[in-house]
Chains A and B, each alone.
Chain A
Amino acid sequence: MTMKASSRQVEGVTVVDLSGRITLGEGSVVLRDTVKDLSAQGHNRILLNLGDVSYIDSSGIGELVSAFTSIRTAGGELKLLNLTKKVHDLLQITKLYKVFDIQDDEAAGIGAFDRQ
């Protein structure tokens, strides 16, 4: 299944709704380009909604980490929303569960960003 990404602005936060597989190749590229474009437009408060992401491989995990570090370096914040059990387990296995700020409610996730 092809990865799709669409973004919307909610109270100064960019919510990116992702669906499909974040894997080596197209899926990882879609995520990378989406975050890069948002950052270039000055949108550095990003909530990645992974609720419809069915699968992530090690390359996809790496892409999430890259997105997190690049946004942080740019002075912004990137948080994750609505992890499926599979993705949750993967982040736990790789000890990234405590690196990312992970939210399970969109309103609470948006409220968790620093106010500017």
Chain B
Amino acid sequence: MDETMDEPHAINATRVSYTLESTLASVTKAEQAAAEVAARFGFQSDECGRIAMAVREAAVNAVLHGNRCDPTKRVTLSFEATPDALTVAVCDQGPGLDPSTLPDPLAPENLLKASGRGIFLIRTFMDEIRFQTMSPGTEVIMIKFVRGPGRDRSKEDNQ
């Protein structure tokens, strides 16, 4: 973990959360934290990369589109591990997001657009994604289930 990242403020065997500033540096910190947590959880390298990318994209949305880089607003990042799944939540303090308004980036008319692929990538790389309206803000909850070859069970003893 980057030493400049806030110390986790709620930690036990299965859950850890961080409060991050609304900066691009926080996006990289969130990505790194996700890669580390996923690896500790026992996911294989490729799967860790996908989880980390999903978390990065959620953090980008929270910082840029949610909090709009407002220095007074924070992003909360949390990881929760259960025997069945790793759940990651990214919460901003922005005006809220209606996911039903997001255009399909695979539609022919959107293929050559420069933006709009972040949530699509999260949906692709995680097993479930949910949006929860907060007051204020949006919480994006992403779940990766433990199943199949995606998890390296040799690491389970180290959890």
A residues near B, CB below 8 A? 23-25, 57-59, 61-63, 65-66, 68-69, 86, 90, 93-96, 99
Contacts and interface: CB of A to CB of B under 8 A. Distances in A.
Most buried by A among B49, B57, B112: B112
20 contacts: A24-B64, A25-B24, A57-B53, A57-B56, A57-B57, A58-B57, A58-B60, A58-B115, A58-B117, A59-B115, A62-B115, A63-B114, A65-B114, A66-B114, A68-B112, A86-B49, A93-B121, A94-B117, A95-B106, A95-B111
A25 to B, nearest CB: 5
Interface size class of B (residues with CB under 8 A): 20 to 34
Contacts of A95: 106, 111
A99 B57 contact: no
Q: Is the interface of B mostly helix, strand, loop or mixed?
A: helix
B138 to A, nearest CB: 17
A67 to B, nearest CB: 10
Contacts of A66: 114
B120 interface: yes
Q: Is the interface of A mostly helix, strand, loop or mixed?
A: helix
Given A93-B124, A95-B106, A24 B60 contact: yes
A97 to B, nearest CB: 11
